[in-house]
Structure 1
Amino acid sequence: MKEIIKAEPLENYELLLTFEDGEKKVKDMKPYLEKGVFKKLQNVEVFKNVKIKYGTVCWDEDIDICADSLYETSKKLKN
């Protein structure tokens, strides 16, 4: 598993993710916003409160996503 060491909320419900090897990727979170516990992230203030815990992203509302899934489904940041 590639651990995430930094997550920055971007406009339009995207996350800029930095992985332990320095690779950066962008994850569009919009498709998640209508599903289960992720509906809480529709509140932009909650979304912006993203944190890193155990190598993946999470929010205070006990919402998290597997780092492997984020790595596989996010887009590599172009230099």
Structure 2
Amino acid sequence: MLKDIIAVEPRQNYQLYIRFEDDVEGVIDISKIVQFTGVFAPLQDKEYFATVEVNFEYGTIQWDSGADLDPDVIYSMITEQLIPEYRLSAVSTNSAD
């Protein structure tokens, strides 16, 4: 997928309006995809939640606490498309003795 997020607007009840570079857009409910623990704990505060911003360098959204979300996951949720599997090929090295 690898589509960058270019706009985000906080909505009520932990929802975010998201727009991607290919003009795909939609609203996601963050409370259904993250637990408010660890780096996500501050997001329980709705005023803090509303401070979400786009990180244009990484093409995702973030908060000052360091919390961010994978744009591929968000894109998949909005488009209802599965994330393609990425396969890593093992590189073997043979040493001659």
SS of 1:38's partner is helix
AA aligned to 1:71 is Y
1:44-73 deviation digits (Å, cap 9, x = unpaired) = 111100011121000011110110011112
CA distance in 1, matches of 2:65, 2:76: 24
The residue aligned with 2:39 is 37
Q: What is the root-mean-square deviation in Å for CA atoms of aligned residues?
A: 1.6
User: When you count helix as a share of all residues, which structure comes out higher?
Assistant: 1
Report the identity percentage: 38
- Runs of 4+ residues over 3 Å off in structure 1: none
Amino acid at match of 1:49: T
Q: List alignment gaps of at least 5 residues for structure 1.
A: none
2:62 is matched with which residue?
58
**Is the radius of gyration larger for structure 1 or structure 2?**
2
Residues 1-79 of structure 1: matches in 2 within 5 Å?
1-31=2-32, 32-53=34-55, 54-74=58-78
Distance 1:69 1:23 in 2: 14
- Does the 8 Å contact 1:13/1:30 carry over to 2? yes
Q: Contact 2:36/2:43 (CA < 8 Å) preserved in 1?
A: no
> Partners of 2:30 and 2:42 in 1: how far apart?
12
- Greater strand proportion: 1
> Please, which runs of 5 or more residues in structure 2 have no aligned partner?
81-97
Larger RCO, structure (CA 8 Å, separation 6 or more): 1
